[in-house]
Amino acid sequence: MARLLRTLRSSQPVARFQRCCGLFPAGEEGGGGDPAEEGRDRGACNGAGAQRRPGAPAHGGERSAAQGCTQKYIVKNYFYYYLFKFSAALGEEVFYITFLPFTYWNIDHSVSRRMVIVWSIVMYIGQVSKDILKWPRPLSPPVVKLEMRTDAEYGMPSTHAMAATSISFSFFIATLNQYKYPFELGLIAAFVFSALVCLSRLYTGMHTVLDVIGGALISAVLLVLLYPAWDVIDHLLLTSPFCPLLSIVVPLVLCYNYPKLDNYSPTRGDTTTILGAGAGATVGFWLNNQLAAPAYTSENFQFGFHLITSKIAVIMLARFFIGIVVILLTRQLMKSMALGMLGYRYKFPMGDLEAQRRLEVEVPCKFITYSSVGFSATVIVPLLHKLLGLM
């Protein structure tokens, strides 16, 4: 068992998976070919001569000498390249900020609430676990690394795998008894979605096999533990007079007391983003319930594949695009306002990235920004939909 775990934690299985999918380091034997295929190179880092990117954690033991540097690489199979690059995006902010609101606006409030609750809890535990365990990411070489921002983080567990597993299966479970679709189809869709995201973390060279398996298993266990309490938690979030206060205070306390690292890592900022969005959305859920805001779905809007008419599709798309525009404007406005106020308070210019990484700046800035996004998505956007006759 110990030998198996060492193998799963090593970089070689990741490198072999990349080679099988047609991704090679430039110059590697067997990876040669048309020089035009060497497009995806953004600078060169060659082994021991590479320098560590400032701000990246200096891991002990198995750590890539090319920390924080990009490699020249050759893509021999563009189908896998684009498939896994797209799949990797399904575990990032661009997916959260589109799919979760889409669910709230177009499918069902209760489904969205459960997904946000599970997503927030699972992601917080995953992010904290990384900075407590401090396991390194795969070595490069032999692994080709396609993402540099996340390389500054530790590896275990894969939060992409955790997010994909929790979101896909919580959506499947929450909709199973409410909407008409085949059980097998929902189960397969959830499995394929999470599997693609998990495999994308190997293809992009960001995680070992053990990181991915660990992330998926931790997420599954948490989902099993949370499921029996879903209804109770949901009821408390909607009815408790203490919900707005606790929804803001508890995430802020968790963010300000995030595990400290020797070097800067984006995990604290990402965690604050997630908890802030969850806090704002939760306050929105509570307020909508107090105001008896109508849900989007009705008997005529049941989500069955055979019931999606052209009229319903147009309304859903209109809700989505209007909502996304409002969310993006909210994010930009609140980020500028928060940075301006914090810059005035702590005396730093708007473009000072080092200052923005400080605890007293990063946490309030991201929390204010994304709690506003969550609140806007659940309160402001539905009101706008109602005014435009899209309810």
CB 197 within 8 A of CB 91: yes
| HEC secondary structure over the chain | CHHHHHHHHCCHHHHHHHHHCCEEECCCCCCCCCHHHHCCCCCCCCHHHCCCCCCCCCCCCCCCCCCCCCCCEEECCHHHHHHHHHHHHCCCHHHHHHHHHHHHHHCCHHHHHHHHHHHHHHHHHHHHHHHHHCCCCCCCCCCCCCCCCHHHCCCCCCHHHHHHHHHHHHHHHHHHCCCCCCHHHHHHHHHHHHHHHHHHHHHCCCCCHHHHHHHHHHHHHHHHHHHHHHHHHHHHHHHCCCHHHHHHHHHHHHHHCCCCCCCCCCHHHHHHHHHHHHHHHHHHHHHHHHCCCCCCCCHHHCCCHHHCCHHHHHHHHHHHHHHHHHHHHHHHHHHHHHHHHHHHHHCCCCCCHHHHCCHHHHHHHHHHHHHHHHHHHHHHHHHHHHHCCCC
Residues 6+ apart with CB under 8 A from 60: 136
- In a 13 Å sphere around the CA of 58, the CA atoms on its Cβ side amount to 5
Neighbours of 228 (CB within 10 A): 8
Looking only at the bridges linking them, the beta strands covering 23-25 and 73-75 are antiparallel
Q: Distance between CA 270 and CA 364 in Å, rounded?
A: 13
Q: Which residues are marked as active site?
A: 160, 207
